[in-house]
């Protein structure tokens, strides 16, 4: 089965509505990732048959959680997941991709240009040092422990904003170690088609003072 068919099947299984033009752009992104990966080591995944499931469908599981937001910050964006697929499918959202690795941000900048994503800004630097972002939603995929994730980014989240942490197995111990100022709003088990692994979405917010 080719990438296009894999993507189409996965999107249908997830019940998402993604027009053909956006699907083509998602596949173009995978092409860029493959091309740049040889030199820039953007992903440890070498099996091309898994690129659609691990990079696209996994990222697209974020889409239902973006409703109602205007600004999103993707922390530790790496090769651009979940930020780039989200930006392709939600062109009305302003998305900031943040990574401390300059090789990775060079790739992200190039991908944004080649994919024509004028709703995306790329920032290179450590998250603790960034000051000029205020986001409705801050997301990360396997970036760090939850306590570090909320601790490092609390200054970048709007008062009524949400953190969306994309995790593998249910992070029970990490939730227990959350700092006092943060609380879990919901945790959802997510089924990603073609991906034989556990996935959870942990939604958090700042506690009301």
Q: CA nearest 5: which of 57, 42, 80?
A: 57
The label of the residue with tokens 């200054």 reads: 155
The answer to whether residues 57 and 77 touch, using CB atoms and an 8 Å cutoff, is no
- Which positions make up the binding site? 76, 81, 127-128, 141
Q: Give me the residues paired with residue 91 across strands.
A: none
What gap in Å lies between CA 158 and CA 147, rounded to an integer?
18
- Which positions make up the binding site for S-adenosyl-L-methionine? 76, 81, 127-128, 141
What gap in Å lies between CA 143 and CA 138, rounded to an integer?
12
What gap in Å lies between CA 120 and CA 159, rounded to an integer?
22
What gap in Å lies between CA 147 and CA 167, rounded to an integer?
13
Query: For the chain, what is the radius of gyration of the CA atoms?
Result: 16
The label of the residue with tokens 């990490």 reads: 174
The answer to whether residues 114 and 147 touch, using CB atoms and an 8 Å cutoff, is no
Contacts of residue 127, defined as CB under 8 A and 6 or more positions apart, other chains included, come to 75, 76, 98, 100, 152, 153, 156
């Amino acid at each position: 089965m080719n990438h296009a068919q894999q993507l189409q099947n996965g999107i249908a299984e997830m019940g998402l509505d993604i027009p053909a033009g956006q699907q083509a752009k998602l596949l173009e992104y995978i092409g860029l990732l493959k091309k740049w990966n040889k030199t820039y080591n953007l992903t440890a995944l070498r099996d091309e048959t898994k690129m659609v499931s691990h990079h696209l469908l996994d990222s697209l599981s974020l889409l239902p959680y973006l409703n109602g937001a205007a600004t999103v910050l993707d922390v530790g964006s790496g090769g651009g997941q979940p930020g780039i697929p989200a930006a392709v499918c939600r062109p009305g959202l302003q998305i900031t991709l943040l990574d401390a690795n300059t090789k990775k941000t060079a790739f992200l900048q190039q991908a944004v240009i080649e994919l024509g994503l004028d709703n995306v800004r790329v920032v290179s630097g450590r998250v603790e040092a960034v000051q000029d972002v205020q986001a409705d939603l801050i997301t990360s995929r396997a970036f760090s422990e939850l306590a570090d994730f909320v601790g490092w980014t609390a200054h970048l989240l709007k008062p009524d904003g949400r953190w969306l942490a994309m995790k593998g197995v249910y992070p029970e111990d990490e939730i227990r170690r959350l700092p006092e100022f943060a609380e879990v709003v919901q945790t959802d088990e997510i089924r990603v088609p073609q991906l034989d692994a556990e996935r959870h979405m942990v939604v958090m917010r700042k506690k009301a003072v």
